[in-house]
Amino acid sequence: MSIDKKLRPHFHITGGEGWINDPNGLVYYRGKYHAFYQYYPEATHWGPMHWGHAVSGDLTHWETLAPALYPDENDDGCFSGSALVWQDKLWLLYTSFTENGG
């Protein structure tokens, strides 16, 4: 389901579609601001968390990119964390878990 652009907020990051949740990393890297957030692109309810990714040159106009992190078959999602720049590389740190204790 796609939402009409005129109905979207003008100064707020939104995912393309699906469920958007907590912001987890805001960082300035190589001339752009990057925002990462918990995101489930498959439905408008909670599900296995991904990390959505948006970039901006001015903190007002945002471009939504493909998810930065995806859960794999061995975990239930990519949850809280942060982003940092270290040694000219962008690093993403996050928590994950499995329901079955694996």
| Domain locations in the chain as residue ranges | 20-94
pLDDT band at 89 (very low <50, low <70, confident <90, very high): very high
**d(Cα 7, Cα 10) in Å, to the nearest integer?**
9
| Residues 25-59: tens digit of each pLDDT | 899 999 999 999 999 999 988 889 999 999 999 99
Q: Given 4, 22, 58, 76, which residue is catalytic?
A: 22
Annotation says 58 is catalytic? no
Above 60 in pLDDT, residue 1? no
**d(Cα 59, Cα 8) in Å, to the nearest integer?**
16
Nearest to 12 by CA among 76, 77, 74, 62: 62
Q: Name residues whose C-beta falls within 8 Å of residue 53's C-beta, 6 or more positions apart in sequence.
A: 34, 35, 36, 64, 65, 66, 67, 68
11 against 61, higher pLDDT? 61
